[in-house]
């Protein structure tokens, strides 16, 4: 992602990181954030990691990485598609979607915790939420934000 007025040409795809206008690249900490790990894997896959290491501005998380791009502390940022699709963000910049083959899958999940079984009311509430998360309505919402369903 970049700011709309940054002058960075994202049509170059991943090679935009080599653009002379890209001085700073925001990336979530790859030891803590799944999307930071995926971004690092892509840079390594395309043999760009060593060429851009000195440009990296490491965010604690994906939100901090996007803030770096939005405030101009970084020229571009590696962030998630679901974050880009958020109403407050999607019109603030341009984006390029990294090919799936350059990184391992980013898998999200949900579970019902053992604590939910402490009493009948708590269990029934947790179960309703768990079932709601599997509903077609939620699946459509998640799909609209760039998540794909994996069985």
Q: Is residue 28 located within the same domain as residue 94?
A: yes
Cβ distance 16 to 43 under 8 Å? no
pLDDT tens-place string over residues 45-65: 999 999 999 999 999 999 999
Angle between helices 62-71 and 34-45 (to 10 degrees): 70
Q: Is residue 18 located within the same domain as residue 90?
A: yes
User: Concatenated DSSP letters for 67-92?
Assistant: HHHHHTSSSEE---HHHHTSTTTTTS
Residue 149's domain spans which residues? Answer: 107-151
Q: Is residue 77 located within the same domain as residue 150?
A: no
pLDDT tens-place string over residues 82-97: 887 776 666 777 788 8
Q: Is residue 68 located within the same domain as residue 142?
A: no
> How many Cβ atoms from other residues are within 10 Å of residue 115's Cβ?
9
Q: Grade residue 81 by pLDDT with cuts at 50, 70 and 90.
A: confident
Six-digit token pair at 118? 């402490």
Which of 2-6, 30-34, 40-44 shows the lowest mean pLDDT across its residues? 2-6
* Rounded CA separation 62/79 (Å): 6
Q: Is residue 84 located within the same domain as residue 15?
A: yes
Assess whether pLDDT exceeds 90 at residue 37. yes
> How many Cβ atoms from other residues are within 10 Å of residue 68's Cβ?
22
Q: Is residue 11 located within the same domain as residue 77?
A: yes
Please give the model's pTM, rounded to 2 decimal places.
0.78
Q: What is the pLDDT of residue 3?
A: 56
pLDDT tens-place string over residues 101-136: 999 988 888 888 888 888 899 999 999 999 999 899
CATH number for 74: 3.40.190.10
Assess whether pLDDT exceeds 70 at residue 6. no
């Amino acid at each position: 992602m970049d700011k709309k007025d940054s002058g960075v040409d994202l049509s170059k795809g991943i090679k935009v990181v080599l653009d002379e206008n890209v001085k700073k690249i925001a990336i979530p900490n790859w030891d803590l954030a799944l999307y930071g790990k995926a971004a690092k894997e892509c840079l390594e896959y395309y043999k760009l990691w060593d060429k851009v290491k000195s440009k990296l501005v490491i965010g604690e998380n994906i939100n901090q990485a996007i803030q770096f791009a939005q405030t101009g502390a970084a020229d571009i940022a590696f962030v998630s598609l679901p974050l880009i699709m958020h109403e407050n963000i999607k019109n603030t910049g341009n984006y390029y979607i990294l090919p799936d083959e350059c990184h391992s899958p980013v898998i999200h999940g949900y579970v019902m915790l053992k604590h939910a079984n402490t009493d009948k009311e708590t269990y029934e509430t947790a179960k309703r939420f768990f079932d709601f998360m599997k509903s077609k309505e939620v699946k459509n919402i998640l799909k609209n934000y760039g998540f794909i369903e994996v069985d």
